[in-house]
Each structure stands twice: as structure tokens, then as C-alpha cells.
């Protein structure tokens, strides 16, 4: 049994619930989990490994639910750049926590600024650069499970309907999170304590996943996009704390 205080259990449960919601209904919400897990664990290097099995649980459920809506062709151009980002993230896990956190904040803020500029420019079409987004996604996911904002902005640039937006993201993150397992094993970031915590969080992930299903059905497209942008900005500020 993990030796956690009551507030840590509450924070962990809230994070697990929000991961479930993010995977099936509102991806932007998941961006808040990365800083919360750092607070819970107290170590920015180990926090991603504590969250990864919980994320994978939600990924499996989300992929099953959204299996008919994914647009995989939107992701092919990203693949080689994401792999390069994972390699860079594996190297960066040896840096100090403060450096990693500010580096992530800079990446997310940059992606948000680029998206907003292109979204509201005179051009009627918004483009996402696969190299830029792929590198940022692979890197930020590996070091802190914080690739949600970057991937959300990339998918928004494709002008996908909200169902395809969520479905494509869930397939992408299932593969990405599985690819990170060997990296965390190499850095010995998993432990019996962290894995026990993850097993105990599974029920809350499933509750959050069902809540996310309801949310995506009732939320209008415009409100959905606005919510993703706002939550991306909030998560960026939290990374700079």
C-alpha cells in the first residue's frame, strides 16, 4: 500500500477521474493532470511513471469506445517526428525538475500562440507543421505526460469534428504511451508503490470515462474548441509554477 497522506489520495483520485474524462470527452482537461501528479509525487522525474498506467487504462477504454470515428491518416506524417521527440525526452529525463517544467511550459505556450495566430489570421485554412508538433508531442509526453495541449492544437488545426477529434487523439496516445514504457523501465521510474497506486485508481478512471462520454455528446462544437484553447492556456501557466 502506498504511504500517502489523505490529501495525496484525494489529489490522485481527482487526477484519475480527470484522465478518464479527458480520454473520452474533453482532451484539454487532461493537461491539468501533469502538474497535479508532480505535486502528488513530489518528484518531476517519477511523476510521469506514476500516471502512465492510469493513462493506458483510460486509453484502452477510449479506443474501444471511439473505434469507429478515428482518422488515422491525420497521424502518419507525425510518426517519425514523435519518435525523435521520445528519444529527446528520454535524454531530458536526466535534467533537473525545474528545467524540465519550464521547458514544457515554453513548448505549450509556443504551440498555443502559433495556433491562435493562424486560427485568427486572414488565411481561411489553418495548418499544423508535423515536424514541430511531432517533436513537441513526443518530448513533452515522455518527460511529463503533458503532450495533450500540443496534440489538441495539432488536431484542431485539421478542423476535425469533435467525435473524430477525440477518437484520433485516443488512438494516438495509446500507441505513444505504450512506446514510453521501455523508456521509464530504463530509467527505473516504476516501483511497486506506484503500480499499486495505479491499480487502485482504475475505478475512478472508468467513472471519469463515462462522464466524458456524456460531455462530448452535449457540448457544441464551438464551445468544445474554445474549452480546449482555454484549458491549454491554464495548463501552460501551471507548468511555469
- Output the pLDDT for position 180: 96
pLDDT of residue 24: 72
Q: Report CA-CA distances (Å) from 184 to 48, 102, 150.
A: 9, 21, 21
Longest dimension (CA), the chain: 56
Q: What is the rounded distance in angstroms from the CA atom of residue 229 to the CA atom of residue 206?
A: 25
Quote the CA–CA distance of 9 and 204 in Å, as a whole number.
Answer: 12
Q: What CA–CA distance (Å, rounded) separates 46 from 52?
A: 10
Nine-digit cell string for 135: 517533436
Cβ-proximal residues to 117 (8 Å cutoff; 6+ apart), any chain: none
241 residues of the chain, pLDDT tens digit each: 788 999 999 999 989 998 988 777 666 566 678 878 888 888 878 889 999 999 999 889 888 877 776 777 767 888 899 999 999 999 999 888 778 778 777 776 776 776 676 667 665 455 668 898 899 899 989 988 878 777 877 887 777 777 787 788 888 899 999 999 999 999 999 999 999 999 999 999 999 888 877 876 787 767 766 776 777 677 667 667 6
Helix or strand holding residue 85 (H, E): helix 79-92
On whether the CB atoms of residues 29 and 21 are closer than 8 A, the answer is: yes
pLDDT of res. 16: 94
Name 69's Cβ contacts closer than 8 Å, sequence gap at least 6: 163, 164, 166, 167, 168
C-alpha cell at 67: 473505434
Amino acid at each position: 500500500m502506498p504511504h500517502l497522506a489523505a490529501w495525496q489520495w484525494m489529489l490522485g483520485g481527482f487526477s484519475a477521474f480527470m484522465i478518464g474524462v479527458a480520454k473520452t470527452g474533453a482532451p484539454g482537461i487532461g493537461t491539468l493532470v501533469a502538474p497535479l501528479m508532480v505535486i502528488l509525487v513530489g518528484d518531476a522525474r517519477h511523476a510521469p511513471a506514476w500516471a502512465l498506467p492510469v493513462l493506458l487504462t483510460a486509453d484502452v477504454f477510449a479506443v474501444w469506445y471511439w473505434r469507429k470515428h478515428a482518422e488515422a491518416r491525420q497521424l502518419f506524417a507525425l510518426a517519425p517526428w514523435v519518435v525523435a521527440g521520445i528519444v529527446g525526452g528520454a535524454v531530458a529525463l536526466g535534467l533537473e525538475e525545474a528545467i524540465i517544467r519550464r521547458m514544457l511550459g515554453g513548448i505549450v505556450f509556443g504551440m498555443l500562440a502559433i495556433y491562435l495566430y493562424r486560427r485568427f489570421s486572414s488565411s481561411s485554412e489553418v495548418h499544423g507543421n508535423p515536424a514541430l508538433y511531432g517533436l513537441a508531442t513526443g518530448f513533452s509526453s515522455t518527460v511529463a505526460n503533458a503532450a495533450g495541449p500540443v496534440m489538441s492544437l495539432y488536431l484542431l488545426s485539421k478542423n476535425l469534428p469533435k467525435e473524430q477529434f477525440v477518437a484520433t487523439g485516443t488512438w494516438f496516445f495509446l500507441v505513444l504511451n505504450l512506446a514510453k514504457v521501455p523508456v521509464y523501465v530504463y530509467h527505473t521510474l516504476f516501483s511497486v508503490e506506484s503500480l499499486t497506486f495505479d491499480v487502485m485508481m482504475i475505478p475512478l478512471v472508468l467513472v471519469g470515462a463515462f462522464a466524458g462520454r456524456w460531455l462530448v455528446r452535449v457540448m457544441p462544437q464551438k464551445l468544445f474548441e474554445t474549452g480546449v484553447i482555454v484549458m491549454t492556456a491554464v495548463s501552460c501557466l501551471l507548468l511555469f509554477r
